């Protein structure tokens, strides 16, 4: 693997999760991890009351790093251990496959023991004795790295029976997906792990903590989230909550790809850096001397933001009162709440940048092809609608656009979002709605038949 993250960082990057990942000489071996203080937090956690660990995670304000940003401690708190008589499972969602996102892979490949330690602590806190890492099928090498790391951890009794003499038993196994994006949806992931097609489950119950794997209480957390738990145990929830800003505590890993000079992944305290600083100071600006046209701030399903846009953001000022401020795209601090207030979402942290030479109809066609391919097919609006949107966009990029196409796309997207079992309906609709609304003139220009062939779609 190329060192795509090993670019110089002139700004205030604060690496907690990626602290060691790119350190020269750092390896995924357990000895290396132990030399860097590994498994100390596990020892500390095993001496704590599980409920106290949950309380620390709640106090930390940690929000899930997989996309939805749900508070981790709250999710954990849904299991009533006093009443529960069933086994509890912990699942690590390592099925990272949201286009634009490539952060979890760095942790899995370069620092697997950090994840394993975070998982053991999280399993202990949630009374789980069996945990699985659901890893993307394409990351076959990552699966082998993890299997080796798990064997190393077992050999040192960090896993298995009576871990470090604590009386606590746990094992963790790796489960490889097989190329289906929908397995990243937590109930789809569970169905897949049960040996079925990954059809997301009907809600309610809204959380697998109520009814998860094998109809037992189940916690599903992202790789980055579980790694954070180790650091929360190390520094304490209150100290962790001081990193970043209220409601956006801790660090976040941002992945930047597309038309920037130096793409890569970067870790910052919540709200500590603006979009402009990340793009221009850290990533070296737009490549080939081009200008920024648009960006997707949180993985391909986030709504697109257009260069030159100004947002009215409601936020708390220093005195704690609500105020409304105007912000340009470049001034947006990178955190969950501000990006949401700009009308999009920070999702998985994957920022895809498009320069001024890009044809937005082609870019959307590319994304729509992804969603049409990845719809699990369970709900009719999504199965038929995602494919229909793709067909309309293919026709437009192929030079056979019709005047009604932009409105047709908006109508289709509006008929899918909110009408499906899982959030895939929104994921495939939001890009369409935002691209057409914000680049209406390009879509109208393509809505007239002319002989041309899309550059991004030319080969199939």
Taking contact as CB under 8 A, which single stretch among the options 28-36, 116-124, 131-139, 222-230 is the one that binds another protein?
Answer: 131-139
Taking contact as CB under 8 A, which single stretch among the options 9-17, 47-55, 156-164, 196-204 is the one that binds another protein?
Answer: 196-204
Pick from 136, 230, 231, 438: which binds another protein (CB under 8 A)? Answer: 136
Q: Is 2 in the site for another protein (CB under 8 A)?
A: yes
Pick from 35, 43, 70, 140: which binds another protein (CB under 8 A)? Answer: 140
Nearest to another protein of 291, 373 (CB atom): 373
- In whole angstroms, what is the distance from residue 132 CA to residue 355 CA? 40
Pick from 176, 201, 230, 231: which binds another protein (CB under 8 A)? Answer: 176
- In whole angstroms, what is the distance from residue 52 CA to residue 77 CA? 11
61 vs 58, 70, 125, 225, CA distance in Å? Answer: 6, 10, 16, 12
Tokens of 364: 């959307």
Q: Is 460 in the site for another protein (CB under 8 A)?
A: yes
Site for another protein, residues 335 to 394, rule: CB under 8 A: 350, 352, 354, 358, 363, 366-367, 369-370, 373-374, 376
Pick from 27, 169, 173, 441: which binds another protein (CB under 8 A)? Answer: 173
Pick from 67, 258, 347, 425: which binds another protein (CB under 8 A)? Answer: 258
Taking contact as CB under 8 A, which single stretch among the options 64-72, 160-168, 191-199, 437-445 is the one that binds another protein?
Answer: 191-199
Smallest distance from another protein to CB 96, Å: 5
Q: Among all chains, which residue has been given the structure tokens 């994921």? A: 427
Site for another protein, residues 17 to 76, rule: CB under 8 A: none
95 vs 180, 351, 424, CA distance in Å? Answer: 9, 18, 15
Smallest distance from another protein to CB 352, Å: 6
Smallest distance from another protein to CB 279, Å: 14
How many chain residues touch another protein (CB under 8 A)?
A: 66
Taking contact as CB under 8 A, which single stretch among the options 72-80, 189-197, 226-234, 339-347 is the one that binds another protein?
Answer: 189-197
Pick from 54, 91, 131, 180: which binds another protein (CB under 8 A)? Answer: 180
Q: Is 263 in the site for another protein (CB under 8 A)?
A: yes
Smallest distance from another protein to CB 198, Å: 7
Taking contact as CB under 8 A, which single stretch among the options 61-69, 175-183, 238-246, 410-418 is the one that binds another protein?
Answer: 175-183
Site for another protein, residues 437 to 456, rule: CB under 8 A: 455-456
Phi-psi region of 128 (alpha: psi -120 to 50; beta: other; left: phi over 0): beta
Smallest distance from another protein to CB 428, Å: 13
Q: Which residues contact 381 (CB under 8 A, 6 or more apart)?
A: 415, 416, 419, 420, 425
Smallest distance from another protein to CB 137, Å: 5
408: nearest Cα among 385, 431, 439, 441: 385
Q: Is 105 in the site for another protein (CB under 8 A)?
A: yes
- In whole angstroms, what is the distance from residue 337 CA to residue 248 CA? 7
Smallest distance from another protein to CB 181, Å: 7
Q: Is 274 in the site for another protein (CB under 8 A)?
A: no
Tokens of 5: 């993250």
Pick from 22, 98, 117, 442: which binds another protein (CB under 8 A)? Answer: 98
Pick from 50, 67, 79, 96: which binds another protein (CB under 8 A)? Answer: 96
Tokens of 259: 């038309």
Q: Is 5 in the site for another protein (CB under 8 A)?
A: yes
Nearest to another protein of 48, 456 (CB atom): 456
Angle between helix 380-397 and 405-416 (nearest 10): 160
Count CB neighbours of 3 within 10 A.
9
Nearest to another protein of 232, 369 (CB atom): 369
Q: Which residues make up the interface to another protein (CB under 8 A)?
A: 1-2, 4-5, 87, 96-102, 104-105, 130, 136-141, 144, 173, 175-181, 192-198, 213-214, 255-259, 263-265, 300, 350, 352, 354, 358, 363, 366-367, 369-370, 373-374, 376, 455-460
């Amino acid at each position: 693997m190329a060192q795509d993250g090993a670019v110089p960082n002139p700004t205030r990057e604060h690496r907690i999760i990626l602290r060691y990942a790119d350190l020269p000489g750092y390896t995924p071996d357990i000895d290396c991890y132990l030399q860097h203080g590994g498994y100390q937090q596990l020892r500390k956690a095993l001496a704590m009351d599980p409920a106290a660990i949950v309380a620390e995670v709640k106090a930390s304000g940690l929000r899930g790093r997989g996309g939805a940003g749900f508070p981790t401690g709250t999710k954990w708190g849904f299991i009533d251990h006093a009443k529960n008589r069933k086994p509890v499972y912990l699942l690590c969602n390592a099925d990272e496959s949201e286009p634009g996102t490539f952060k979890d892979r760095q942790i899995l490949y370069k620092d697997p023991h950090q994840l394993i330690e975070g998982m053991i602590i999280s399993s202990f806190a949630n009374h789980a004795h069996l945990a699985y890492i659901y890893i993307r099928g394409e990351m076959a090498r990552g699966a082998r790295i993890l299997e080796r790391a798990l064997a190393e951890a077992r050999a040192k009794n960090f896993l298995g029976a009576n871990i470090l003499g604590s009386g606590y038993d746990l094992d963790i196994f790796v489960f490889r997906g097989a190329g289906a994006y929908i397995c990243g949806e937590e109930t789809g992931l569970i169905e897949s792990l049960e040996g079925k097609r990954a059809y997301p489950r009907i809600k309610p119950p809204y959380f697998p903590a109520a009814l998860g794997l094998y109809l037992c209480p189940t916690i599903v957390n992202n790789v980055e989230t579980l790694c954070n738990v180790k650091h929360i145990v190390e520094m304490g929830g209150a100290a962790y909550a001081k990193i970043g800003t209220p409601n956006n505590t801790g660090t976040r890993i941002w992945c930047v790809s597309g038309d920037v000079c130096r793409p890569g992944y970067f870790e910052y305290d919540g709200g500590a850096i603006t979009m402009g600083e990340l793009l221009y100071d850290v990533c070296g600006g737009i490549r080939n001397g081009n200008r920024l046209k648009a960006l997707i701030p949180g993985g391909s399903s986030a709504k697109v933001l257009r260069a030159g846009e100004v947002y009215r953001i409601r936020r708390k000022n220093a005195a704690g009162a609500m105020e409304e401020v105007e912000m340009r795209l470049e001034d947006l601090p990178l955190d969950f709440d501000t990006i949401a207030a700009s009308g999009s979402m920070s999702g998985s942290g994957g920022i895809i940048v498009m320069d001024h030479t890009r044809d937005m109809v082609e870019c959307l066609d590319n994304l729509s092809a992804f969603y049409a391919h990845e719809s699990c097919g369970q709900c009719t609006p999504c199965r038929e609608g995602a494919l229909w949107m793709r067909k309309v966009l293919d026709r437009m990029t192929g030079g056979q656009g019709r005047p009604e196409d932009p409105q047709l796309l908006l109508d289709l997207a509006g008929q899918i979002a909110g009408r499906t079992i899982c959030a895939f309906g929104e994921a495939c609709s939001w890009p369409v709605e935002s691209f057409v609304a914000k680049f209406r003139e390009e879509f109208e220009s393509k809505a007239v038949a002319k002989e041309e062939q899309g550059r991004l779609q030319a080969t199939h």
